[in-house]
Amino acid sequence: MKVLLTGGAGFIGSHTAVALLEAGHEIVALDNLYNSSPEALKRVEEITGKKAPLVVGDCTDEKDLRKVFEQYGHIDAVVHFAGLKAVGESVQKPLDYYQNNLDSTFTLLRVMRMYGCHALVFSSSATVYGTNQEMPLREDFPTGCTSPYGWTKWMNEQVLTDCAHADEKLKVVLLRYFNPIGAHESGRIGEDPAGIPNNLMPFICQVASGKLDHLNVFGSDYPTPDGTGVRDYIHVCDLAEGHVAALEYAMGHAGVEIINLGTGEGYSVLDIVHTFERVNGLKLPYQITARRPGDVAICYSDVTKAERLLHWHAKRNLEAMCRDSWNWQKHNPQGYGK
């Protein structure tokens, strides 16, 4: 099938491009390069030996989207990655987040209908589970968010659900990602955050490379085995393969499904630090500091629905996640140099 990847030059989009091309599909990416570099898709071509065309344009702009559908012939399905994703920034600039993350979906849905494209996979987030205490998190649990970013995911899920109910041809899969880390094993593509990273693994990589002098571990008094926060980290290549399975599922099923993509395992901040040190033969200086406002103690997924509907489960372990994250950082200390 031919798949449009909005936000396809980004971290998860570029890894999904590799997985789709390797599974024999064709892709085209639409990205405004706000948080990415065209170099990512050049490297996707280098890894796969296949074409990974990029249209530089904005998903909130109907003209840009129509150009893709006009130029690239019939598109069978879309994965909608395009969005702003920094939780803290979304609190400072809520309107930018609501505008970009919602308008891109509205515009995309309109243009898909114009061109007879009915299958859509959407990048949602475990953040929509809010402060649920019961673990593992199952897709039918109550939802609620703690940031404008989270609410944009929650609202997009509602919009897409309503549209799928109104249009019997529409096939929608809402993927709730847990914590994607790692990089392609070639070390040619990976996560390239702008400025000082907010998330744990990119921060660790910059400490390991000497760009930052130590890691702050946010809280050691959580009700977890070692007191530090527990999360469901998933290798980005497993996540990418989950998208291939979700697209194949969507093509055959009208309506809407919500599916968690995680490993079902929880690891603490110190588990990550110690595994990273062991597999990469490095020392990571760290200090315990206060809890980060808004963090939950524990968050991990129930993965039975992904297994049952998609016949997919994550295969790569924490060692591989830590090794591949560092391999990317080590070989690309300036990321893509954007």
Q: Within 10 A of 99 (CB to CB), how many other CB atoms are there?
A: 14
- DSSP output for 108-160: HHHHHHHTT--EEEEEEEGGGGTT--SSSB-TTS----SSHHHHHHHHHHHHH
Instruction: Give the DSSP H or E segment for 233.
Output: strand 233-235
> Which residue, among 84, 130, 126, 76, has the nearest Cα to 105 in the 3D structure?
84
Q: How far is CA 333 from the centre of its chain?
A: 22
Give the list of residues 6+ apart from residue 204 with CB closer than 8 angstroms, or none: 215, 272, 273, 276, 284, 325
Rounded Cα gap, residues 171 and 160, in angstroms: 10
Q: Which does 27 bind (CB under 5 to 8 A by kind): ligand UD1, ligand NAD, none?
A: none
According to CB under 6 A, which one of 54, 87, 119, 256 is a site residue for ligand UD1?
87
According to CB under 6 A, which one of 292, 308, 315, 331 is a site residue for ligand UD1?
292
Using the rule CB under 6 A, is 58 a contact of ligand NAD?
yes
Residues near ligand NAD (CB under 6 A), total: 28
Using the rule CB under 6 A, is 295 a contact of ligand UD1?
yes
Using the rule CB under 6 A, is 33 a contact of ligand NAD?
yes
Active site residue 149: yes
Residue among 62 and 282 whose Cβ is closer to ligand NAD: 62
Give the list of residues 6+ apart from residue 304 with CB closer than 8 angstroms, or none: none
According to CB under 6 A, which one of 16, 32, 123, 127 is a site residue for ligand UD1?
127
According to CB under 6 A, which one of 3, 9, 244, 269 is a site residue for ligand NAD?
9
Q: Torsion angle of alpha carbons 233, 335, 280, 291, nearest 10°? A: -50
The one catalytic residue in 97, 129, 149, 249 is: 149
Using the rule CB under 6 A, is 200 a contact of ligand UD1?
yes
The footprint of ligand UD1 on residues 160-179 (CB under 6 A) is: 179
> Which residue, among 198, 206, 207, 272, has the nearest Cα to 235 in the 3D structure?
272
Rounded Cα gap, residues 120 and 111, in angstroms: 12
Q: Within 10 A of 278 (CB to CB), how many other CB atoms are there?
A: 11
According to CB under 6 A, which one of 13, 229, 264, 266 is a site residue for ligand UD1?
229
> Which residue, among 66, 77, 65, 70, has the nearest Cα to 30 in the 3D structure?
65
Rounded Cα gap, residues 173 and 27, in angstroms: 18
Q: Which does 34 bind (CB under 5 to 8 A by kind): ligand UD1, ligand NAD, none?
A: ligand NAD
Binding mask 164-183 for ligand NAD (x = CB under 6 A): -------------x--x---
Rounded Cα gap, residues 336 and 122, in angstroms: 26
Using the rule CB under 6 A, is 294 a contact of ligand UD1?
yes
CB of 315 to ligand NAD, least distance (A): 19
Using the rule CB under 6 A, is 34 a contact of ligand NAD?
yes
Contact window for ligand NAD (CB under 6 A) among 43-51, 58-66, 264-272, 280-288 = 58-66
According to CB under 6 A, which one of 11, 69, 151, 203 is a site residue for ligand UD1?
203
DSSP H stretches of helix in the chain = 11-22, 39-48, 62-71, 87-92, 94-114, 148-166, 200-208, 236-252, 269-280, 304-305, 318-331
Amino acid at 134: E
Using the rule CB under 6 A, is 147 a contact of ligand NAD?
no
Binding mask 39-78 for ligand UD1 (x = CB under 6 A): ----------------------------------------
Q: Looking at the annotation, which residues are catalytic?
A: 149
What residue ranges bind ligand UD1 (CB under 6 A)?
87, 125, 127, 150, 179, 198-200, 203, 215-218, 229, 231, 269, 292, 294-295
What residue ranges bind ligand NAD (CB under 6 A)?
6-7, 9-13, 30-36, 58-60, 81-85, 100, 104, 123, 125, 177, 180
